[in-house]
Amino acid sequence: MPFKRTTLPSKDRAASEPAPASAPATGDAAVETTPGDGKVAPSPKARTAARRVAGRPAAATARDDAKGSGAGTSIAATLPPGLKLIGSHTSISGGVEESIPRAVRCGFTAAQIFVKNNKQWFAPDLSAESIAAYRKRREEAGLVVFGHNSYLINLGSPKPDIIDTSVDALAKELLRADALGLPFLVMHPGSCGAGSTEADGLRKIAAGLDRVVEATPGVRTKLALEITAGQGNSLGHRFEHLATLLQQPYAAERLGVCLDTCHMFAAGYDLRTRDAYEATFRDFESIVGAQWLLGFHLNDSKGGLSSRLDRHEHLGSGAIGLEPFGWLVSDPRWTDIPKVLETPKSEDMHEDVENILKLLPWLKPGE
Ligand SMILES: [Zn+2]
Ligand SMILES: [Zn+2]
């Protein structure tokens, strides 16, 4: 598919320059939400449950975390050691380097982070100290950490100025991710205008990806196109959409795919029975190809099959149910693919630990 190669606007917007007029008002630099949720939802009941989990000797080690991140929480739940490449979206509040101790405290072996405030177009450059501290901590912890881009970025926008800003912002996020040594940055392909055809929208997104790749030569961090729920006019909710974007000749070696179980299910890919699970991944392997898969988002779904609703739910509490997550984490095809949760959580992330502990019968600690 020949896509016309275009270039970035020559004006190189400084990272610290105020957001363009098209951006919504920017707020507190520490603002951060969980993808697909946007809410922090601590409840007294959940906290009690977490303490029970933390006290269960075989499942988790209770840790007296007097300096813990959760306000008023003295005991945080922790995963048993040795679980492979599993964790959750982890906050960078206080600096990217602060994400590592948060993930380590929970016993994660994988984590996803935003590389900057996800509600702003641009951010001041990361300091050399922050980058060095992040790299040292990540290395020592042996964590696999990847990124997720800002929600504002939309390479499929019907407005050319939004596409220009998106290209610029995504290129800058990619440079930040590369400075941190992240293997990939997850991005939503984009959302086109109501009047646009899927083919036109995908062509626009592919052209945008070309521009981002061209603006970031030598960057090793890949862009992982995340499957979407197909909410509104968003593209990327069919395996065929992802395959089309991966087929473009210029950027292909810089791209990959991230599968979000909630999005897949809401988009119509059933996972609820063993047969449905196998059929869905057979389709994925034949239409997209497993060699492109870089990461999983493990989220149950508030909406039903084909609901196109992007609302994440705790594992086993949504329309997918717990078992398919067990099949996924024990599927030998996905052993080396990092898997992170993006489900509702409070600051200490004990809900994430609880969710992952539900998968212990399928996970094999110590291997
Ligand atoms: Zn996402
Ligand atoms: Zn996701």
CA-based nearest residue to 322, from 277, 268, 359, 275: 359
Residue 24, pLDDT > 70, answer no
Distance CA 205, CA 221 (A): 19
Beta strands in 144-206 (DSSP E): 144-148, 184-187, 190-191
Question: Which residue did the predictor score with more confidence, 247 or 20?
Answer: 247
| pLDDT surpasses 50 at 328 | yes
Identity of the residue numbered 8:
L
Residue 55 has pLDDT above 50, yes or no: no
| Interaxial angle between packed helices 350-357 and 99-106, expressed in degrees from 0 to 180 and rounded to the nearest 10 | 40
Nearest ligand, CA 149? 1
Bridge partners for 295 per DSSP: 258
Q: Note the pLDDT of residue 134.
A: 98
Whole-number pLDDT of residue 58: 34
Tell me how far the alpha carbon of residue 35 lies from the centroid of ligand 2, in angstroms: 6
Closest CA relative to residue 250, chosen from 204, 201, 207, 187 = 207
Ligand 2 midpoint to CA 11 (Å): 32
Whole-number pLDDT of residue 36: 58
Q: What is the pLDDT of residue 249?
A: 66
Provide CB contacts within 8 A for 50, sequence distance 6+. Answer: 75, 76, 77, 350, 351, 353, 354
Q: Is the pLDDT of residue 25 over 60?
A: no
pLDDT tier for residue 275 given thresholds of 50, 70 and 90 = very high
Which listed ligand is nearest to 342 at the C-alpha?
Answer: 2
pLDDT at 34: 64
* C-alpha 16 to ligand 2 mean position (Å): 28
367 lies in a domain? no
What's 95's domain CATH number?
3.20.20.150
Q: Tell me what pLDDT residue 316 has.
A: 98
Is residue 99 in a domain? yes
Task: Characterize 272-282 residue by residue with b for buried, 16 or more Cβ atoms within 10 angstroms of its Cβ, and e for exposed.
Answer: eeeeebeebbe
Residue 122 Cα to ligand 2 middle (Å)? 22
The residue segments making up the domain with residue 126 are 44-357
Ligand nearest to the CA of 150: 1
Q: Is the pLDDT confidence value at 231 over 90?
A: yes
Does the pLDDT at position 86 exceed 90? Answer: yes
- Rounded to whole angstroms, the Cα distance separating 16 from 7 reads 22
Mean pLDDT of 335-348: 97
Query: Would residue 32 count as lying in a domain?
Result: no
Ligand nearest, relative to CA of residue 340: 2
Mean pLDDT of 86-104: 98
Domain assignment present for 18: no
Q: Which ligand is nearest to the CA of 189?
A: 1
pLDDT of residue 116: 95
The ligand placed nearest to the CA atom of residue 312 is 2
Q: How far is the CA of 186 from the centre of ligand 2 (A)?
A: 8
Tell me the angle at which helices 239-246 and 274-287 cross, rounded to the nearest 10 degrees. Answer: 20
* More confident: 86 or 196: 86
Residue 329: name the closest of 303, 367, 353, 360 by CA: 360
Residue 254 alpha carbon to ligand 2 centre in Å: 20
More confident call, 327 vs 77: 327
Q: How far is the CA of 227 from the centre of ligand 1 (A)?
A: 8
| Statement: the pTM of the whole predicted model exceeds 0.75 | yes
**CA of 182 relative to ligand 2 center, distance in Å:** 17
If one counts every other C-beta atom within 10 angstroms of the C-beta of residue 235, the result is 25
Centre of ligand 2 from the C-alpha of residue 297, in Å = 5
pLDDT at 77: 81
**Closest ligand, as measured to the CA of 224:** 1
- In this prediction, residue 254 carries a pLDDT of 95
Most confident of 57-71, 94-108, 194-208: 94-108
For residue 259, how far is its CA from the centre of ligand 2 (angstroms)? 7
Residue 149 CA to ligand 2 center (angstroms) comes to 11
Ligand nearest to the CA of 118: 1
| Whether pLDDT at 271 is above 60 | yes
Q: Is the pLDDT of residue 65 over 50?
A: no
166 occurs within a structural domain: yes
Cβ(73)–Cβ(350) below 8 Å: yes
Q: Which ligand is nearest to the CA of 187?
A: 1
Question: If you measure from the C-alpha of residue 329 to the centroid of ligand 2, how many angstroms do you get, rounded to a whole number?
Answer: 16
The length of the chain, given as a count of residues: 367
256 lies in a domain? yes
For residue 57, the CA-to-ligand 1 centroid distance in Å is 34
CA of 355 to the centre of ligand 2 (A): 16
Between 178 and 2, name the one with better pLDDT: 178
Rounded distance from Cα 191 to ligand 1 centre (Å): 13
- Quick: pLDDT tens for 168-197: 999 999 999 999 999 999 999 999 988 889
Comparing 61 with 367, the larger pLDDT belongs to 367
pLDDT digits (tens, 9 = 90+) for 125-176: 999 999 999 999 999 999 999 999 999 999 999 999 999 999 999 999 999 9
Q: What are phi and psi of 248, to 5 degrees?
A: -65, 135
**For the residues 308-329, what does the mean pLDDT come to?**
98
- Tell me, yes or no, whether 26 lies in a domain: no
Note the pLDDT of residue 365.
59
Kindly report the CA angle at 215 between 158 and 34, in degrees rounded to 5?
60
pLDDT at 193: 83
**65 CA distance to ligand 1 middle (Å):** 31
**Two tokens at 280?**
């869905």
CA of 229 to the centre of ligand 1 (A): 10
Pairwise pLDDT comparison (10 vs 123), residue with the higher score:
123
Q: Compare 30 and 139 and report the one with higher pLDDT.
A: 139
Residue 205 CB coordination number (10 Å): 29
Please report whether residue 2 resides in a domain: no
Question: In the predicted model, what is the mean pLDDT of the chain?
Answer: 84
- Does the pLDDT of residue 72 top 70, yes or no? no
Q: How many domains does the structure of the chain reveal?
A: 1
212 Cα: distance to centroid of ligand 1 (angstroms) = 18
Give mean pLDDT, residues 41-45. 41
β-strand pairing of 63-64 with 75-76: antiparallel
Model confidence at 278: pLDDT above 70: yes
Q: Tell me the CA–centroid distance for residue 127 and ligand 1, in Å.
A: 26
CA of 310 to the centre of ligand 2 (A): 9
Asked whether residue 307 carries a pLDDT value surpassing 90, the answer given is: yes
Is residue 82 left, alpha or beta, with left meaning phi > 0 and alpha meaning psi from -120 to 50? left
At residue 250, the pLDDT reads: 67
